[in-house]
Amino acid sequence: MNLSSGAILILSGPSGAGKSSLITKIIDHIGPSYFSISTTTRPMRAGEVNGTHYHFVSEEEFKYEIENEMFLEYAFVHGNYYGTSLVPVKKALKEGKLVIFDIDVQGHDAVKNRLGDITTSVFTTTPTLHELKRRLHNRSTDSEEVITRRIDMAKREVQRIGEYDYLVVNDNLDEASEILISIAKSARMKIPTLQINEFIQQWEANA
């Protein structure tokens, strides 16, 4: 019964922890899935493609969608809005897919509150703060001011690791990917409360 159910896998962690690289490594090894593309008001970076990396919109468009309750969750982070549109998520769940979210701790709270019984959450980070700083500087995509904000945010985020189901330390990408694949496969086996109740009723009916 659980194999036909959609499920959610949340991946959170500091910017620079390698979440995007992990998702790319596991996506072909976890069965039918849908990677939820966030909508954001932040400027597009070099090499990014609208509709592939993010749905890039104006702040006016984003606020319109907030007012019309079109987001599963949204947050204001580093001076920009980020949100998850409801329609494609509902469609993917109905098709029995594993929906993968790359969202921050605020988004994690919102999704867990609304869809907690089908949600598995993973916090991934570098082995040390020093390594996180090194990665942020080496990727050369942000100003020093933005990097400082990201580091400050990371220090706050790691204090909430205990709210997640799993912790994956991304020290070695291949090893971290193998661990995440195992977690993703187990996430598919999570059965919604409604289906559990239905199973119990059917089990008792066939006495």
How do residues 7-45 score in pLDDT, each as one tens digit? 999 999 999 999 999 999 999 999 999 999 989 999 998
* Structural domain contains residue 51: no
* Structural domain contains residue 197: yes
* Structural domain contains residue 80: no
166: domain CATH number? 3.40.50.300
Q: Which residue from 88, 123, 90, 133 is spatially nearest to 10, judged by alpha carbons?
A: 123
Q: Which residue from 56, 82, 86, 59 is spatially nearest to 71, judged by alpha carbons?
A: 86
Amino acid (1-letter code) at residue 60 = E
pTM here is 0.84
3-state secondary structure of 70: coil
User: Which token pair is 42?
Assistant: 């932040």
User: Which token pair is 100?
Assistant: 């993968």
pLDDT tens for residues 38-73?
899 999 988 889 988 899 999 999 999 999 999 998
* Structural domain contains residue 82: no
CB 38 within 8 A of CB 17: no
158: containing domain: 2-36+98-205
Q: Which residue from 70, 71, 177, 72 is spatially nearest to 116, judged by alpha carbons?
A: 72
* Structural domain contains residue 89: no
* Structural domain contains residue 77: no
193-205: average pLDDT: 90
* Structural domain contains residue 110: yes
Q: Which residue from 2, 41, 184, 40 is spatially nearest to 99, judged by alpha carbons?
A: 184
141-147: average pLDDT: 88
Count up the domains in the chain and report the number: 1
pLDDT tens for residues 73-116?
898 887 899 999 998 898 999 999 999 999 989 889 989 998 99
* Structural domain contains residue 83: no
pLDDT tens for residues 120-132?
999 999 999 999 9
Residue 2 has pLDDT above 60, yes or no: no
pLDDT for residue 91: 92
